[in-house]
Structure 1
């Protein structure tokens, strides 16, 4: 008996088959009744045989003892099986062939808000009705029962209850035991499944659709639009200067910025539009049911507009813009892959055109994209093979035409294409990260050249070195600059660093910190292209800047344009009032030089005074 009990309990715990439990309990009940009946008969027979021989009475006594032992074992078996049912996490109910409850456990009672007395006095039909009315869709139970009318059938269903719970039901129609039900509360499991499903299709940071879900929605939209002959558009967005903020203020601030960007995009677009995050600082937008080209333009401009307001991050206002590439179905592609690729290509064109704008895809952009890829390969090889060189353009004191120093300018000459301009290869180097090793090479090379000229007697010569946006984000920038100067054996006064307004404004407080440290060492700080960026006078007064450089766009027409003369004059006055020196770039005529001198401009550089030249030729006019 105990071996049978052990086997049955183990089987139940590993993979319960409620029909077998019911059958087992029925058999136990029959065994118990048979034993109890036989025991009573033997005791009566023993009383009738009191006068018979000793051997006969001993036989009866032995038989009674054996039956009593069997009775104890049966009671223990029933008790253990009952305990096993109660220990189950499932609710178990067995309705016999006579439509009466045979077996049920506490979990079943609690799961369906019943009580033992009511169940014991009710039929199976009564119990089914109480279960049915608790379902959000009561007809499901009726359908369930119809599916298991034939003995041997079994069905698995899920019930959504009116109170929000989800119950899994497995019923077997057992030929002997009747209807055997197992109920399991899977509410939490379903919630977890939903969380996992959501995480698989949404970005963990912003909760926007991820690349997979966005692709699915785009594919679905394309399938739908084939039947309606309509149009749709895809935006591919990239945040301008995001890495500056991420690297300088930390990933937590960068993450918060991405969250705020996601919210703004979701708020500004239509309800039927889909905003997704591809990863990093790249977002996509799916626009369905667009009203021609003008409708796409309006939405693109609306997206650009939401970035004009500052973002509040860690108690400070930060500005960031976006570049948008636009691809329209069917002209720019008829598949998910083509539309996303072409929108991405158009986005890079928007960046090349100055950022903070949008650009529609054209077939010519595809050719440009292939050319860009080829340029990237060439650029990597050029960095590896040391194909770059520095040219130097003189910077002169305007009042006496004496040499102040040079600006170091990067040049790349290829065998098959000749010189490739910095305006072409520098953006590619920036986007690929190659600008960092390239910028470090420029820094070290320019410092070593300064040492050559110092040894020639130009003790106070100053070399102006341009820093890229990515260089300015480097955590070890200060150490790299100091090491380059010391390794070259020159003084800190022999170096000037040129930065732009946009670089500084990405992280004003961080910029002030690094620039202050560099300036305290004796390195001159120059604000390049002043007037073309943010031109925040509020911040300019707090920045540790020694020199303002008037951009060539204001110098070019200074003799013809009243407005340009006013701007150039204002910059000179502003700089002097802030105790800064002024350098005018792009001076190409005597008339421009004379005007600048009349306004007390301090220094000039441009083709009128000297073109960028290799170091030997650049220094030659100033040797004597």
Structure 2
């Protein structure tokens, strides 16, 4: 019942009660006074009637006043409060607040203030709720609020979803309404796999009430996350899932890039090395085949890099097919990778004989040569292969790769499309190469001279200057280091050194009275190609004060054949300076009479290989005689090399050979020995 009604009833009953009390008092007095005189009674009756009337009137007036001034206002205040509560508006109270300032007005003000605070609090709570909801929904991480599911011992073992944010809905690819009221184990596809781990975290969160974080987990489909679980009030907990799907994918991509070649999908250099290191660590024997595609640069240059890339992919597929070429055991024994560019590596586990190693190398070359087409272009690939084995050739990966690489380059040097097994001889060449340049600077080279004998004059008229490399372990043959020096470019320094020593020899011969003496030196094509070659030549002979006619420059056919026009031009300039030109080693390889005709020559040197059967083969003798006659017709002097016995000399004398060079006269000897040899052979008087 409302307060106003209660107050009204109280007032009503109070008025009735007061009226009854007064009436009772009146009746009591009246009965007492009835025993008195009539005049007195009449007088008191009138007085009490008047009093009773006045009492009733006054009660009615008081009730009316209280009802109007208090009860009605209380009722109005109650109505206003009800409306304010219903409408959430404290303005109702303010607009209807009585103007009179009394206790009730003050009460109304208090009520108004309290109502304002309540409304403000309600609005604040509503606003904070909205902010909280917005905050959760703008989170990039998935948020799930759950009611715990407990076992008989009170441990958390699962949870029922009671709220989620947008990120969680997107992560699980389900609408919010479909997720709410589901168990977490129903959302987490791999829950059973990681159940032990998840349950242990839930138990721990229930006991410690602290944050717990799990490891990376595959939660749903291809999506990965790191789960953080937070304890709330008793029986509730929240899960935040940090989505690491993209990070996981990038990590997997980086792992792939770190281990595999992106073009061919083969193992890359890093992974190959790791694999070989593992084999060595396990002491497993193996052989590696270092493969380089011959002339691959030409494919890129002529057909473009896209075609070149496709060729490399096909090469990778062909090499992978080796796993199935021999037997099923080969699948696990053969590993293929790409080192980079057009270089590939095949690793074959197990100890193989040389024959087995060569068989696999030949098979590699066979399958690469099998024809294939790319955009109407037909390919038959050739490859150079170098092979090394563990533990025979080395005990670490880098050494084995280096040795296989050396062997591969040896295959290249021999024309390509070959396979070579590493040997110590190859290593000797590499060591020689590394010390060649320093050997020239350290003057480890010495020039030896082999006499050239004039058949008609029967005297020594010249010599060929030949280098020897003096090392602590002995003298190294030119056959070993000359090809290497040509490859490295050190031949240019070597040629200059020989020219300087040849000039010194000429000066000594002048002192002995041998004014017509000539020293022949081999000059490389690499030296001739220098822009300043002629300037260097002139500078050296000027320094040594030598007449150019005393120096004869020897060239070989194999070096000039690729650019004959350039060679003719430069040799003409050299010859015009007074130097003589000789064509060395004629009769070997691509020997052609055409070169004798077009080159500016003074001397033709016939190679020793033609003299081997000179005594027993009439055809050989006829060929040499024809060469000599042709050379004489062209105005050339002829020197036959490799004369070792007197019968060869006599036969050459009969067919009019001009000069000979060979062991029959003398082997190459150092300068001091050569000087005294000339004095003795040519009967030169010794000066005191």
TM-score computed with the length of structure 2 as normaliser: 0.54
| 2:288 aligned residue | 235
The 3 A distance-change label for structure 1 pair 585 and 206 is: farther
Structure 2 Cα separation of the partners of residues 113 and 373 of structure 1:
64
Structure 2 Cα separation of the partners of residues 44 and 441 of structure 1:
112
> How far off its partner does 1:264 sit?
9.1
| 1:422 aligned residue | 478
Q: Which residue among 109, 133, 142 is the counterpart of 2:169? A: 109
> How far off its partner does 1:39 sit?
11
Structure 2 Cα separation of the partners of residues 71 and 549 of structure 1:
117
Structure 1 Cα separation of the partners of residues 622 and 281 of structure 2:
59
Q: Which residue among 340, 343, 358 is the counterpart of 1:297? A: 358
Conserved? CA contact 2:631–2:637, under 8 Å: yes
| 1:178 aligned residue | 237
What runs of 5+ residues in structure 1 fail to find an aligned partner? 1-35, 227-231
Identify the structure with bigger relative contact order (alpha carbons < 8 Å, sequence gap 6+).
1
Deviation per CA, 1:180-218: give whole Å up to 9, x if none.
Answer: 14141524x334323433444457898754565334434
Alignment: residue pair count: 533
Structure 2 Cα separation of the partners of residues 220 and 277 of structure 1:
18
Conserved? CA contact 1:275–1:285, under 8 Å: yes
| 1:271-282 pair list within 5 angstroms | 271=331, 272-276=333-337
| 2:533 aligned residue | 481
| 1:538-577 pair list within 5 angstroms | 552-553=608-609, 555-557=611-613
| 1:410 aligned residue | 467
Structure 2 Cα separation of the partners of residues 75 and 424 of structure 1:
95
Structure 2 Cα separation of the partners of residues 517 and 38 of structure 1:
116
Structure 2 Cα separation of the partners of residues 429 and 550 of structure 1:
24
Corresponding residue SS for 1:358: strand
Query: Are 2:495 and 1:443 equivalent residues in the alignment?
Result: yes
Query: Are 2:275 and 1:217 equivalent residues in the alignment?
Result: yes
Structure 2 Cα separation of the partners of residues 58 and 536 of structure 1:
128
The 3 A distance-change label for structure 1 pair 441 and 116 is: same
Query: Are 2:516 and 1:465 equivalent residues in the alignment?
Result: no
The 3 A distance-change label for structure 1 pair 586 and 303 is: farther
| 1:386 aligned residue | 443
> How far off its partner does 1:159 sit?
1.9
What runs of 5+ residues in structure 2 fail to find an aligned partner? 1-83, 150-158, 206-211, 324-330, 576-580
The 3 A distance-change label for structure 1 pair 41 and 479 is: same
| 1:158 aligned residue | 217
Deviation per CA, 1:266-317: give whole Å up to 9, x if none.
Answer: 35743541245678998654212566554333124445667989999xx999
Query: Are 2:135 and 1:94 equivalent residues in the alignment?
Result: no
Structure 1 Cα separation of the partners of residues 310 and 623 of structure 2:
35
| 1:331-350 pair list within 5 angstroms | 332=392, 337=395, 341=399
Structure 2 Cα separation of the partners of residues 371 and 599 of structure 1:
44
Structure 2 Cα separation of the partners of residues 371 and 567 of structure 1:
40
> How far off its partner does 1:392 sit?
4.5
Query: Are 2:319 and 1:266 equivalent residues in the alignment?
Result: yes
Conserved? CA contact 1:406–1:464, under 8 Å: no
> How far off its partner does 1:169 sit?
4.2
> How far off its partner does 1:597 sit?
9.8
Structure 1 Cα separation of the partners of residues 397 and 463 of structure 2:
47
Conserved? CA contact 1:549–1:585, under 8 Å: yes
TM-score computed with the length of structure 1 as normaliser: 0.59
Deviation per CA, 1:199-246: give whole Å up to 9, x if none.
Answer: 4445789875456533443454467787xxxxx43236486999x99x
Conserved? CA contact 2:505–2:671, under 8 Å: no
Conserved? CA contact 2:289–2:347, under 8 Å: no
Structure 2 Cα separation of the partners of residues 583 and 564 of structure 1:
16
Conserved? CA contact 2:141–2:243, under 8 Å: yes
Conserved? CA contact 1:94–1:101, under 8 Å: yes
Conserved? CA contact 2:643–2:664, under 8 Å: yes
> How far off its partner does 1:388 sit?
1.4
The 3 A distance-change label for structure 1 pair 179 and 88 is: closer
> How far off its partner does 1:410 sit?
2.0
Conserved? CA contact 2:637–2:658, under 8 Å: yes
Larger gyration radius, structure 1 or structure 2: 2
> How far off its partner does 1:411 sit?
1.3
